[in-house]
Structure 1
Amino acid sequence: MAKNISFLTLSFLSLIFTFDTFGQEAKATFIDARELTLVGKIYHKGPFYHRLDTAAIPDLPKAVKVLATHAAGLAITFQTSSSKISAKWCTSSGVPTDNMTGLAFEGMDLYIKRNDRWQYAGVARPKSHNCNEAEIVANMAPGNKTCLLFLPTYDETISLQIGVDAGATISPATHPFKKNIVVYGSSIVQGASASRPGLSYPARLSRETGLNFINLGFSGNAKMETEVANLVSDLSMDALILDCVPNPSPEEVLARTTNFVTTIRKKHPKIPIIAIQSIAREKGNFDTQVASRVSLKNNYFETEIKKLQKHDQNLYLIYADGLLGDDQEGTTDGIHPNDLGFDRMLHKVRPMILKIFRSYEI
């Protein structure tokens, strides 16, 4: 009987240490994500979760400055022995647009390395438009895990803490991607309308190739301005992808393409520059003005790129044909790819990009 009482006492004490009062599980230990490894930012200057230090670039267009505060393409990588992972984070008070999920706009998604592959593990669901707390994944098997947490695509991340089991280890992981491949473009590059941050096409390219694709997507504002050309030319990069045709007018495409490329070439004479035409907007299936406008922009872009190619053997063009498939099911709103549309884009552009990169030993 004494042994049974002793066993029951120890069991009861164990429950006390494992649970808070009223049966609630003990709280996780949280660590500031700034103590871990930031992925996707080419220069670690300015506010931690901003893609660019816009204060150092005063002549950028105002809209580009605002969009640069969004954390699109940024991720935190870390190692932990925890059986669960949680997050506390605050964003600006922005509200998701009608073509974006809350998860993509101001939530996060987690990937964990398994068998040399980044595998989806869970999401941090936002319940408000300011500060949130969420359990991302629980009940994981023992052992150390390498994690990659993608930050909100269309909102400014103000703070982030990552929670693990009390007593579990958590530490910065080695940066998982090599080289710097800058992707300059529109809302499609930034991530609209993927259902969650890690499904934007630059994020997928990073996970699937091991290369560091830097997201410089500026929703509605990738217009190849001279000031932005100067900004991009100053970046340390091994390749550049231009997916910027959707935003400028046909006249701006015609007037600005050559200047943008030649500005880059002055500082990066040998890197591959891969230009991508605009996807065929499915709004143009019946709206003839939309179809005509997209076609004109793509034609102007092709004309300018081909002129430049006569003197630039490191400049490439990917045509829009088939980027979204041919069944008109590849967008959320007739403009922005859904997850299916992004998958189709990748099936076309990924092998072409990798073939080009092999020639440069990237």
Structure 2
Amino acid sequence: MKSIYFSLVFLCLLVKPSYSQNANPARFVKAADMTIIGKMIQTRNIYQSLDTIDYPRLPAAVKRLLTMSAGIAVSFKTDSRFLKAKWCNSKSKVGSNMTAIAQKGLDLYVKLNGKWQFCGVGKPLEQCTETSLVNNLMEGQKEFLLYLPLYDEINDLEIGISSHSTITAGTIPFKSRILIYGSSILHGASASRSGLAYPAILSRQTGLNFINMGLSGSAKMEKEVADLIAKIDADAYILDCVPNSSPEQIKSRTDYLVQTIRNSHPKAPIIIMQSLIRESGYVDAVIGDRVRLQNEEIKSQFLNLQKKGVKDLYFISAENFLGNDHEGTVDGTHPNDLGFYRFTEDIRPKLLKILAKYNIK
């Protein structure tokens, strides 16, 4: 009996106490009470990009996509040693080319030594999830960004901290407002998590506020969408909508889109981007021809607008968006994380050079 007793005592001594949520249970606060960033327009439902009821003429697909939380993040400061989250999604299924974390989960960044760094994720478990984001954080107050799901609606988001900790609304960490209108690639397909969509990467790298107006499969330059974009106040406008628009749509709709923005925002730079070269187009001649015609037509429209005297108009071509080794996509169309890294590395210096002309830096 003595040997068993001393063995148990020895084992207990080996088990060191650790900081845990169980010893210090979480209290939850509403994320809505923190600072919400990345929105195009203020909305009644703060986790949606747009109150679509206010825009009845928008195409149905555009309305549906604008209820999603792509590009939206929560900024907060806390000294908690752990972070949890509770949230609810819609009943939609995870897409075949997306991770569940990117589509329905959360992506947490922390500011360390003046730079934003990945910190943890919220893995969606059910339609409503309560889960840990990160444990055993270093002591002291830190600044966080919690990116919301790319391809789903979100409701009732709460952040969990230790019971004795404090939490306050963070600052808006990015300057100015650069609206990007575009396709599923802008929307975030197929980043592994929401903080790796390219507007989010650009914001963290540059300190500028790149706002994600991604409309997966539905960025087709419709008149109603052009009118909406013109109502959104921004310091610059980037048009990355060529991947969804047919050559015919590009020919018939580009002029109205650009002129409408220009009429409402006479001095803001407008930057037109070609479609990235789809990897599947190198082996599928039909896809390859379509992308070539799309890019030729948008270049032609850009030149026509210049001839008409539209000022502060710029063009970025697609030659090196994804590199040259053909490894930058998930499915031949949508960038993987490597593809998004290369994409931002290519366009960032070009964008910054243009924006600096307008003292946007």
Task: Name the TM-score, length of structure 1 as normaliser.
Answer: 0.92
**1:88 corresponds to:** 86
Corresponding letter in the other structure for 2:181: Y
CA distance in 1, matches of 2:93, 2:74: 23
**2:7 corresponds to:** none
Q: Contact 2:230–2:260 (CA<8 Å) still a contact in 1? A: yes
Specify which of 232, 237, 242 is matched with residue 235 of structure 1.
232
1:100-115 mapped onto 2 (5 Å cutoff) = 100-115=98-113
**1:193 corresponds to:** 190
Secondary structure of 1:126's match? coil
CA distance in 2, matches of 1:134, 1:99: 24
CA distance in 2, matches of 1:228, 1:83: 44
The Cα of 1:159 is off from its aligned counterpart by 1.7
**2:12 corresponds to:** none
- Does residue 335 (structure 1) correspond to residue 349 (structure 2)? The answer is no
**Deviations, residues 6-25 of structure 1 (Å, cap 9, x unaligned):** xxxxxxxxxxxx989xxx44
**1:320 corresponds to:** 318
Corresponding letter in the other structure for 1:241: I
Secondary structure of 1:246's match? helix
**1:266 corresponds to:** 263
Corresponding letter in the other structure for 1:150: Y
**1:168 corresponds to:** 165
CA distance in 2, matches of 1:217, 1:162: 26
**2:69 corresponds to:** 71
**Deviations, residues 173-200 of structure 1 (Å, cap 9, x unaligned):** 1111111110000000110000000000
The Cα of 1:157 is off from its aligned counterpart by 0.6
Corresponding letter in the other structure for 2:78: T
1:1-362 mapped onto 2 (5 Å cutoff) = 24-128=22-126, 130-310=127-307, 311-362=309-360
User: What are structure 1's unaligned runs of at least 5 residues?
Assistant: 1-17
Secondary structure of 1:254's match? helix
User: What are structure 2's unaligned runs of at least 5 residues?
Assistant: 1-18
Q: Contact 1:109–1:149 (CA<8 Å) still a contact in 2? A: yes
Q: How many residues align?
A: 341
Structure 1 stretch 139-148 or stretch 45-54: which is displaced more? 45-54
Corresponding letter in the other structure for 1:87: A
Q: Contact 1:309–1:316 (CA<8 Å) still a contact in 2? A: no
Identical-pair percentage: 49
Corresponding letter in the other structure for 2:330: T
- Deviating runs (4+, > 6 A) in structure 1? none
Cα RMSD of the aligned pairs, angstroms, is 1.2
**2:16 corresponds to:** none
**Deviations, residues 18-65 of structure 1 (Å, cap 9, x unaligned):** 989xxx444201001001000101322221110012111111111101
Secondary structure of 2:168's match? strand
Corresponding letter in the other structure for 2:310: D
